[in-house]
Chains A and B, each alone.
Chain A
C-alpha cells in the first residue's frame, strides 16, 4: 500500500511517487530508505515495511487522530 509521507522540514504531505522526479538521477534510487520532498527538497527517511506495519499496529491501538491534528502537537 502506498502511504503518504510528511516532510520533516516543511511538514507538507506528499506521496512517495511525487518524490521520484527529484530522485530519478540518484545512483541509489530504489535501494535507499530516503525520499526527497517535492516541495523543499529535504531528504526524509522512509520506514522499512516491517517497521511501517509495526507503526500501523500501534497507531490502530492509539487514539485515532488525523495527521493535521498531530501536526499541531501537544502545545
Chain B
C-alpha cells in the first residue's frame, strides 16, 4: 500500500487485501473544480482516509480501487493549475508528483475547457511517467455541443484519453482499464516548445548529462523516475523545489550559474516564456480536435481582449472608460446629482432641522455642540458619511464591479506592465493600485503579494502619494467637474508625480526588475446579479468601516475644540496653507484629511459648495490634499507592513512633497493668469 510518509514521499508497503495483488499507486491530479473528488469517490467507493500532508495543514485523501484481482491505492491531491506552485496546496501536489512514487498519474480535466486545461497535461507529459487523461464532464460538453476528437487528442499527447462522467460513473470501466494498461509505460511524447524554450530546457538537461557523470545512471531511484527535462523546465521557471532536486543529483554542477546563463538567452522572463510556449503548444495540439459548441467564445471576443491589452488600442479605450465611468458617472452622477439630492433634500431640509430641534432642549452648549455643533457627530460626521461619501463610493463601486466582472482588470495589468517596469514595478502591481482606488489602506496591505521587497516598498510609496481613494477621487472629480482645465491640471500633476517619484525611487533603490505574467480569463458581459451583489457588499463593508471613524473623528475634533488643542494644531497648519494662498479654513480640511482622506475631501467639497475658494485655490487644494500625507489608518498599515522606519520615511517624504508641489503649482497657475 502506498502511504504518505513523514518525508513527504510515497512508499509501497504490503498489499491491502488477502488474495489480491497490489499493483501500485494512482495519483489523481487536476485543477480545482473539475470533478476530481467525485471521480475519486467513484473509483474508490466510500472508504477513504483523509490525512494532512506531513508538515502542512493540507489534506490528501487516500482510497483503494480494485480492477479484477488487483488493488490500487488512489491519492486525491489538492487542485493545481500548474506544476509551478503558488499556494501551499499546489506545493504539496507538486511534491507528491515530483516524488515519482505514483505508478500511474491520472490528469482529470474539464472537457468543456480543454484549452485552459491542456498546459498542465503537457507538463505532466514532460515528466515521462505513465499518464492517463480523464476527460471529465463529457455530458456537459455534449450538452454545449462541444465535439472532441478523442483518438486524435490521444495520438498527439501520446497517452490514453478516456471520456468520463464522474457523477454518473460513465466511462469508469474504460478508465480503470486504461490505468492498468498504462502502468509501466511512461509518456513518450516530448512536447515541442518554440522560441528557444525547448532548446533552453534541453541545454540544462544536456549539461547535467555531460557534467562528468551520466546523470540517469547515478541519481536516486525515485528522482530518476522523473524526466530530467521536466525538472529543468521548472527550475528554469524559477521553481526552487525543482532546482534543489537537480542540485541534489548533480552536486558538482553550478546549478545557479547554469540556469541563469540559460535564462539569459531566452526572449523575456523564463517563467513567462515557458508558460506562453506551453500554452501555444496546447493550442496547436487542439487544432482540429475540438469543434466549437454553443457555449464557446466567439473568436472576436479573444481579439477584443488582446486589443484591450495593447497600448495603441488599449490606452484610448482606457481613456474612454475613465471618462464615462469616473468623470460622467462617479463625478457627475454620484458626487453631483446624488450628493445634491441626499444632502440637500434629506439633510438640509429634514434631518439637520430635526436634530437641531431635538438637541435645542439640551441646556449646555458644549454638550449640544457634540451632536449638532460645527464638528457635531450628527451634523458633520453622519452627514459627511451618509450624504457625501456613501453616494460617491456607491457610484464608484458600481463602476468598479462592472469593470471587474467583464475581466477588464487583467488586461489593464498587461497594458500598464511596460510603463510600470520603467518605475521598477510590474503589471502585478496593478492589483494594489486598482484596489487603492477603493481604499489605499487595504491596498497597502495587498502590496505584500508583490514579488520583491523593492517592488513592495515602491508600491507603498506610490499608494501613499499619488493614488486617491474612491471617495476622495469621486469628490475631487465632482469639485473640479465644472472646470475641465482644472481637472486636467489635477490629473496631470498626479500622473506626473506618480511617474517622477516612481522613476527616482527606482533609481535610488537598486534591485532586479520585476517580472509578471498571468493567464487571461475570458472577457464576458457583466452579469447584473454579480455586479449588484459585489457593489452592495463593498458599500456595506465601506460604510461599516467609515461611519464609526467619521463619528470618532468628529468627537476628537470636538474635544480638540473644547480643550484648545485643535487651535494649536491649526496654528501650525495655517501658515502652511497661507503659503499656498489658501484660506485659513483649508487647514481644518487638511486636518480632516489626516483622520481619513475622504473626510478631508468631504470638507473641501463643502467649502467649494459654499463658494469659499477660487478656481486656482480649488485646484491647488485638491492637488495638495490628494498628495498629502496618508490618513491615520494607512500610516498604521505602512508601519505594520513595511516597518516603523519605512513608514516614517514615507510620511517625511510625502508631506513636504505635497505642500511643495501645491506651492509650486499655485505660482505656476497665478503666473498663467488663473
Contacts and interface: CB of A to CB of B under 8 A. Distances in A.
Contacts of B405: 8
Contact of A71 (B431, B522, B538): B522
Contacts of B540: 33, 48
Interface in B433-463: 435, 442, 445-446, 448-449
A10 B446 contact: no
Q: Is the interface of A mostly helix, strand, loop or mixed?
A: loop
A74 B86 contact: no
Contact of B529 (A13, A38, A55): A55
A10 B519 contact: yes
A55 B533 contact: yes
B356 interface: no
Nearest to A46: B537
**Most chain B C-beta atoms within 10 Å of own C-beta, residue among A4, A58, A74:** A74
Given A18-B89, A43-B446, A58-B529, A68 B33 contact: yes
A46 to B, nearest CB: 7
A68 B113 contact: yes
Interface in A1-28: 4, 8-14, 18, 21-22, 25-28
Contacts of B527: 70
B33 A13 contact: yes
B541 A10 contact: no
B297 A75 contact: yes
B309 to A, nearest CB: 14
A51 to B, nearest CB: 6
Contacts of A73: 297, 522-525
A12 B522 CA distance: 12
A33 B518 contact: no
B8 to A, nearest CB: 19
A70 B405 CA distance: 12
A8 B521 CA distance: 10
A60 B65 CA distance: 35
Interface string B508-531: 000000000011011111010100
B144 interface: yes
B32 interface: yes
A69 B295 contact: yes
Contacts of B81: 12, 39
B521 to A, nearest CB: 4
A66 B522 contact: no
B47 to A, nearest CB: 24
Contacts of B87: 18, 38-39
Contact of A9 (B110, B410, B529, B545): B410
A19 to B, nearest CB: 10
A14 B529 CA distance: 20
B112 interface: yes
Contacts of A66: 137, 140
Contact of B431 (A9, A21, A47, A70): A9
Contacts of A30: none
A72 B536 contact: no
Interface string B575-589: 000000000000000
Given A18-B89, A32-B541, A68 B110 contact: yes
Interface string B83-111: 00011110000000000000000000010
A18 B295 CA distance: 30
B301 interface: yes
Of listed A34, A55, A58, residue having the most chain B CB within 10 A? A34
A38 B541 CA distance: 21
Contacts of A71: 521-522, 524
B541 A45 contact: yes
B640 interface: yes
A14 B32 contact: yes
A21 B88 contact: yes
Contacts of B521: 10-11, 71
Task: Name which of B404, B405, B432, B525 has the most chain A CB atoms within 10 A of its CB.
Answer: B404
A36 to B, nearest CB: 7
Nearest to A45: B537
A11 B137 CA distance: 20
B533 A51 contact: yes
B407 A34 contact: no
A12 B34 CA distance: 12
B453 to A, nearest CB: 16
22 contacts: A4-B33, A9-B404, A9-B409, A11-B521, A13-B32, A21-B88, A33-B540, A41-B446, A43-B446, A45-B534, A45-B538, A51-B533, A51-B537, A55-B529, A66-B137, A67-B33, A70-B527, A72-B522, A73-B524, A75-B301, A75-B522, A75-B523
Interface of A: 4, 8-14, 18, 21-22, 25-28, 32-34, 36, 38-43, 45-48, 51, 55, 58, 66-75
Interface of B: 32-33, 81, 86-89, 110, 112-113, 137, 140, 144, 295-298, 301, 404-405, 407, 409-410, 428, 431-432, 435, 442, 445-446, 448-449, 518-519, 521-525, 527, 529, 533-534, 536-538, 540-541, 545, 640
Q: Which 6 A-B pairs have the closest CB atoms?
A: A73-B524, A41-B449, A45-B537, A11-B521, A33-B541, A8-B404
Given A18-B87, A32-B541, 16 more contacts: A10-B410, A12-B32, A22-B449, A33-B538, A39-B81, A41-B449, A42-B431, A47-B537, A48-B537, A51-B533, A55-B529, A71-B522, A71-B524, A73-B522, A73-B523, A75-B298
